[in-house]
Amino acid sequence: MRIPSMLRPALLAAAALFAVAAQAQERFITVASTTSTEQSGLFGHLLPAFEKASGIKVRVVALGTGQALDMARRGDADVVFVHDKVAEEKFVAEGYGVKRQEVMYNDFILIGPKADPAKAAGKDILAGLRKIEAAKAPFVSRGDKSGTHAAELRYWKAAGVDLDAKKGPWYRDTGSGMGPALNTASSMNAYILADRGTWLNFKNRGELGIVVEGDTRLFNQYGVILVNPAKHAHVKQADGQKFIDWVVSADGQKAIADYKIGGEQLFFPNAAK
């Protein structure tokens, strides 16, 4: 009598866990991707089409590019879908990824107060950044090792601004995702580098508007990589590859091109034919 009564709580606990675990025995892959693709609404548009075509559910975990690649390095994703070419090539070279394929691009834009106190407006991102630094106008940085953060740092460097030396109270390193960083910029009326997709889907704009766009240097390439099954044996190689094949196929590319907010196309498919 005594042993069963002592076991009872443990059994109850186990039953409760299994009750929650029992759901979702479906076919799925896990994709590590970026906040920009998730928060721009692209996946909400793209994934139902893929699920319909393949019967495979896609579970997206949206992080910064750096974090998404780390998650895949640990073996917690089947596919990565991110935008930092340098980091992606390193990921493949280290043997964590099978092969990098280009999928689509959008562009970065410099957002800032509509009144543009630093007079940064124009078509030249580097000139714009130099003016912001010269005016010490508030600038919000992602500071989270995301693809957008990496791009921002590249632009500062190309503009000849040595951030380590020039960083002052005007440069706010927020360590947050695209959306939260835009919220911060909106409340501070600061300049910020953003991807167009997130900006178009962003609602709390306040006094902010686009300050610099259309510079070819602002091009933002997205790539997709299958996590290497040789490193992590449980990677769902076949289904992951199906997803990759689909996004670079004519159907997938068309679905990407079809995604629009307010009539404006967010991502431009450019997979190699």
Partner 1 sequence: MYELSASLALAGDLIAAGDARLAGIVLLSLKVSLGATLVSCVLGMPLGALLAVGRFAGRRSLIVLFNGLMGLPPVVVGLLVYLLLSRAGPLGQFGLLFTPTAMVVAQIVLITPIIAALTRQVIEDEWREFREQLRSLGASRVRAARTLLWNGRFSLTTSALAGFGRAIAEVGAVMIVGGNIDGVTRVMTTTIALETSKGDLPLALALGAILIGVVLAINALAYAFRQWAERRWG
The number of C-alpha atoms within 13 Å of 62 and in the hemisphere containing its C-beta is 15
Out of 64, 112, 138, 177, the only residue in the binding site for partner 1 (CB under 8 A) is: 177
Nearer to partner 1, 234 or 273 (CB): 234
Q: Is the dihedral of CA 174, 224, 60, 262 positive or negative?
A: positive
Q: Least distance from C-beta 264 to partner 1, angstroms?
A: 17
Burial class for 8, CB neighbours closer than 10 Å (0-12, 13-18, 19+): exposed
Task: Give me the count of residues in the chain.
Answer: 273
SS3 63: strand
Nearer to partner 1, 1 or 20 (CB): 20
Amino acid type, 74: R
Binding mask 189-228 for partner 1 (x = CB under 8 A): ------------xxxxx-----------------------
Residue 165: its H or E element = helix 163-166
Nearer to partner 1, 38 or 133 (CB): 38
Out of 234, 262, 272, 273, the only residue in the binding site for partner 1 (CB under 8 A) is: 234
Nearer to partner 1, 118 or 178 (CB): 178
Pairing state of beta strands 260-261 and 57-63? Answer: unpaired
> Judged by CB under 8 A, which stretch of 6-14, 87-95, 100-108, 248-256 contacts partner 1?
6-14
Residue 58: its H or E element = strand 57-63
Residues of the shown chain interacting with partner 1 in the complex, contacts defined by CB under 8 A: 9-10, 12-13, 16-17, 19-21, 23-24, 30, 35, 39, 43-44, 59-62, 74-76, 177-180, 182-183, 186, 201-205, 232, 234
